[in-house]
Structure 1
Amino acid sequence: MVKVTVWNENRHEQKNPVVREVYPEGIHGVIAAFLQEAGFHTKTATLDEPEHGLTDAVLEETDVLIWWGHLAHDEVNDVVVEKVKQCVLDGMGLIVLHSGHFSKIFKALMGTSCDLKWREADEKERLWVVAPSHPIVEGIGEFIELEKEEMYGEHFDIPAPDELVFTSWFEGGEVFRSGCTYTRGNGKVFYFRPGHETYPTYHNKDIQRVIMNGVKWAHPVDRKRPIYGNAEPLERIAVKN
């Protein structure tokens, strides 16, 4: 069974009654619930827990880590960020959602500012599938339409994705690379854009399906990891005069 840890800073839920109404169990709670229902083994972790809930024991038992953050990126301890980064390089999958584009872990893995344009105006969003054979879009139609979402617009300062899975169009005219995959070391990273905290985006069945597909895609490959460093020869090296 795939083991998933859903991380959420869990600050909007404490401060904003609108967010509490939309996600009474927290954003992490709703994501963990639909993943659990789909057969994944899930646990949650939040910013204010010791070590942000990402202890060595938790990370060792995590195949895929899902990350949602917004208000408190700077409060995430650099030691924890480095641990998570090393886990990804060692093979753990990472799914970064919405405003997690500015998280320390995503910026550390991308090596860029990860900045973008944004606007809150209750705009319609269409997430167009631009990689129709990709496993992340299994069961999804030509596009996903969200009645209201926060706008993110180009230029999105990220490295060119290994694979671009979704491109969004917004009612105000902007477009955005909304579904991007990367490999980093032995691990796989999926950035998925929608999920502003005041909208019921994570209750949408298509959005849930994409996240479930993303977990399956990002799950570590079952193989021995490559060995790095000085290596003994596999064959006899002939002595040359």
Structure 2
Amino acid sequence: MAKILSKPKNERTIAEMFDNIALNYDFLNALLSLKQDHRWRKKLINEIPYCKNGNFLDIATGTGDIVTQAYAAKKGYKTYCGIDISKNMLQLAEKKANKKSQNIKFSLGSAENIPFEDNSVDCLTISFGLRNVINTEKALQEFQRVLKPGAKLLILDFFSPPNRIVSKIFLFYFEKILPKIGGIFSKQDAYEYLPKSLTFFYSSKKLIESLEKLNFKKNKIQSFIFQTCILKSFTLCE
């Protein structure tokens, strides 16, 4: 795989990258975050509302951690679904879910073209995936389309921290240390791309403003590690 020096223009490039690192994805996430990713995901799970006979959807589901944890912690939904553009990630997600429940479903799907009907989802989550979407604005419009009025949207991702000193330390780790550690266990090109994805991504402020224009109301913001990782909670206004 060639090095990605600018924002990819098609999903195939991103899908191939994640296909290549799928086997080591969970291990490296835990290693590179010092297992903080587990804590952050639990925070997200805590924000998922109980919804009897509702539909739960996780976008860019990866190896299925959010879906399987949501099923275990938030009973009552009629469906628990996860979509991703990486076939290899989904294969691992299905193996993980089969140990939990056959009621969890996974399928190929993109944040920019969600295979769900209008106003059909009661809670939508996306963790560390929105940065990798080609057209962020289109994805946000898709979130608005598939969510029911009053439904909840939860976004967990990395952002460039506003503090200059923290930003320099964070970017040094992301750009210099992370690719080297990641390259020992997996495809280094992928872990060179991930830090660059921050430069392509919306700022935290711009993401909030974009969602508010789409009739989303900001509920709660939780920041971790000096605002380098942020969990955002929104409700689609009725």
* TM-score category of the 2 structures, normalised to the smaller one: 0.3 to 0.5
TM-score, normalised on structure 2?
0.35
Q: Which has the higher helix share?
A: 2
